[in-house]
Amino acid sequence: MDLETALDLVIWGLAGLLILGSLLPLSKLPFGAIRGLAFPREQFLGLALLLAIGFALSQGVTTPSGMAGIALMLGVAALHALYITKFTPLWRKQSLAASPELRRATDRHFSLLAANVKMSNRDYGKLIALAEARVPDIFMAIEVDQAWIDALDDGLGKNYEHRVDVPLDNGYGLCLMSKLPLSEVEVRELVTEEVPSIRARVHLPVGEDFRLYVVHPEPPVIEHDTKGRDSEIALVGIEAEKDPLPAVVSGDLNDVAWSTTTRRFQRLSGLLDPRVGRGMYNTFSATMPWMRWPLDHLFHDPQFRLLEMDRLDKIGSDHFPMWFVLAMAETEAAESDPEETDPEEEREAKNMIKEERKRDRDPIGSDWEDEEN
């Protein structure tokens, strides 16, 4: 086999794998090996364009094989662009920006700093220094064990009167600190045992309240289905839609903003994604710049307006922290609502939740940090 033939085989082989990897997530099958392929759409878009150039250089733009290869790769690139363009300034914003009058009404504002700390990361000082510099009204830390709780208490505890600590050694621990009063606080294992979430009522200085959900469902892995993650995300969406208070859902969803699961969550909840029309704000991986996607999210009721959103500096974790400042308006509004759900979709989601709750298993990845240590 000569070099030219070998090169052609390599290019067509890569193109075939890319086409397969691009089409499989469209099946919506709840398997980690399939759903995980929906994450690297930016990377797949770039690879498709590179392969289109490869076909042009190796086979020419006028030969049948060259034209076929270029057309296929441009089609794949267009498919991924359809998903990710929504999370660029080219798209219409989903969350309204706060008006000048609302920006001045600071008693309606709250700031939130959310960080997945990575449990094995012991560089407590970076996150503490970041929180001290930003001084958020609400501080969320995910993947905390008792050592993290102790460090955050020593460094930040004096600044936060209201606390919810859920230290765990399995990578699913949570910590919520708030300057704003909290009530109706619940720590719940919604679907899978030892995978907690927090639900609380938050009181703003203006005298109005909202509901805060802090979530960290399981990640997708090749050898396991994603029903646990998908069920928890769907259940929070259903609860948020039925909640009499305007809701904010935040956390590491272990899912990208454009996925089937997250889009269904938005339809079920009616909540808005401030990333839409603004940017991707990729939070994972902080250690591999070539493999990044948006995993850490905040979704909010249309009654909120966005003042600030920012991806913050590294804290020694494999996730970047996120910063949000929202304001509660007196009326609901949205430039672009999520797609509406239908009763059949909600029934399917409830059946999935019911079935998943019956399963007896350990949380996915509960031993990952042990292996690293």
pLDDT digits 0-9 by tens, 105-129: 999 999 999 999 999 999 999 999 9
Q: Output 9 or 133, whichever has higher pLDDT.
A: 133
Name the average pLDDT for the chain: 93
Taking Cα atoms as reference points, which of 287, 288, 289, 307 lies closest to residue 298? 307
- Short-list 1, 43, 36, CA closest to 18: 43
pLDDT, residue 365, reads 82
Question: What domains can you pick out in the chain, each with its CATH number?
Answer: 3-87 (no CATH), 100-355 (3.60.10.10)
pLDDT tens across 52-90, in order?
999 999 888 889 989 999 999 999 999 999 999 999 999
**Which H, E and C letters describe the chain, residue by residue?**
CCHHHHHHHHHHHHHHHHHHHHHHHHHCCCEHHHHHHHCCHHHHHHHHHHHHHHHHHHHCCCCHHHHHHHHHHHHHHHHHHHHHHHHCCCCCCCCCECCHHHHHCHHHEEEEEEEECCCCCCCHHHHHHHHHHHCCCEEEEECCCHHHHHHHHHHHHHHCCEEEEECCCCCCCEEEEECCCEEEEEEECCCCCCCCEEEEEEECCCCCEEEEEEECCCCCCCCCECHHHHHHHHHHHHHHHHCCCCEEEEEECCCCCCCHHHHHHHHHHCCECCCCCCCCCCCECCCCCCCCECCEEEEECCCEEEEEEEECCCCCCCECCEEEEEEECCCCCCCCCCCCCCHHHHHHHHHHHHHHHCCCCCCCCCCHHHHHC
Chain segment 310-366, per-residue pLDDT in tens? 999 999 999 999 999 999 998 876 556 677 777 888 999 999 999 999 988 889 988
The pLDDT score that the predictor gives to residue 314 is: 97
Least confident of 2-11, 87-96, 295-304, 333-342: 333-342
- Position 294 scores a pLDDT of 96
Mean pLDDT computed over 288-292? 93
Confidence (pLDDT) at 373: 47
Q: What is the pLDDT of residues 143-156, one digit of tens each?
A: 999 999 999 999 99
What pTM was computed for the model?
0.94
